[in-house]
Structure 1
Amino acid sequence: MDSITPEGVREQGERPRRVGIMGGTFDPIHTGHLLAAEAAREGAGLDEVWLLPASVPPHKQGAATDGEHRWRMTVAAAEGNDFLRGCDLELRKGGVSYTIDTVLLLRERFPDTQFSFIIGGDMVAYLPNWHRIDEIVEQIRFVGLQRPGYPNAAEGLPDPLRRALTMVPMPLVDISSTDIRERRRQGRSIRYLVPDAVYRYIEGNGLYEPES
């Protein structure tokens, strides 16, 4: 498993490097994730987006595949895009992946980088309920993905959270990892729902196939 290292990150000159962090189980990572990453990068003026597979998300009971498979699919999805890379920080740390712990580790390892967490528009309203959110907003910013036809949840946030948030437009894409896994188990096609490299990895490793 090849991890992000300071030596592997490009210099940006005088101003701090602006990096968006997109976390998720990525089981599997799919085209919708990549569209969201690109929308956030462009809309918020980010230099890069790092894809961060979770070890054990606090709201889920583990993942359907182990971390090594999810990491390799993440790396495969980022191939060919100079502005996109995988970050295995949470997988290496292990345990439950709380945002505050990840933020503190990132700030410790990359003190000259300005980080933003990328979240879906439906998660914006729940920011006040995040574990140790007051500490999080002292360290990073947020980028919220605003889908067309949905209300802007930022308007109801407390002032400190609203000031730490940038909303950017996101195309309406109805793709989910849950649906992709179910399609595989039913023997249905998932081609074009995931990047070609991820599709080949899933096929080559027999992931999400029906149980015999």
Structure 2
Amino acid sequence: MKRIGILGGTFDPLHQGHMIIAEHVYEALKLDEIWFIPSHLPPHKQEATVSSEDRLQMVKEAIKGNPHFHVSAIEIEREGKSYTIDTIKHLKGAYPEHKFCFIIGGDMVQYLPQWHRIDELRQLVQFVGVGRKEITGKDLNEDVQMVEIPRVDISSSIIRDRLSHDQSIRYLVPESVFEYVKEKSLYEPKSE
């Protein structure tokens, strides 16, 4: 049985914060692998800025060279809204011998009760919240396992904003993502 951490997201674009979360959870929980799953249409956010194909490719570029990081396109291939319940049910059916945990930001833990079919989802997967020492699973949600990570204030929206103002994102994203964004002219400033 493999123990797999799932890190889902829009990854619009993937940044160093995502990589730090994945590595810290992998190590803290002694997982076998981390699977990055880019969403097709996130149910709680507006549509992504760039295509799902570009977002998937950025993840592929970022995780090259890390043997315990993998990417799955199941939500992109499924299309429609990307509900976690559908993804977890699919994964459990396709990989019944694996045990999955689903990684979320510590700030999202308090919103878990509002997730689509959360009661059923809690029966299928262990949630892992990431955050700082002062955030604890006991304070926020009894059944969420918390993993402490260094505070990294990077977000995809900050990166998109910097790019829209023709500012550098070097070192905010993995170098391979930086090169991919440049090569494909993604997130270019809007002409006025």
Q: TM-score range by the shorter chain?
A: over 0.9
Aligned AA (1:183): R
Deviation at 1:20, TM superposition (A): 0.3
2:46 matches 1:61: yes
Aligned to 1:151: 135
2:159 matches 1:180: yes
Deviation at 1:61, TM superposition (A): 2.2
Map 1:12-31 to 2 at 5 A: 16-31=1-16
2:68 matches 1:83: yes
Q: Distance in 1 between matches of 2:127 and 2:137?
A: 13
2:95 matches 1:116: no
Partner secondary structure for residue 35 of structure 2: strand
Aligned AA (2:114): N
Aligned to 1:3: none
Aligned to 1:102: 87
Q: Scaled by the length of structure 2, what TM-score is found?
A: 0.95
Structure 2 alignment gaps of length 5 or more: none
Deviation at 1:71, TM superposition (A): 0.4
Partner secondary structure for residue 48 of structure 2: coil
Q: Scaled by the length of structure 1, what TM-score is found?
A: 0.87
Question: Pairwise CA RMSD of aligned residues?
Answer: 1.2
Calculate percent identity across the aligned residue pairs: 47
Deviation at 1:146, TM superposition (A): 2.3
Partner secondary structure for residue 45 of structure 1: coil
Aligned to 1:5: none
Structure 1 alignment gaps of length 5 or more: 1-15
Aligned AA (2:186): L
Deviation at 1:172, TM superposition (A): 0.2
Q: Distance in 1 between matches of 2:67 and 2:29?
A: 17
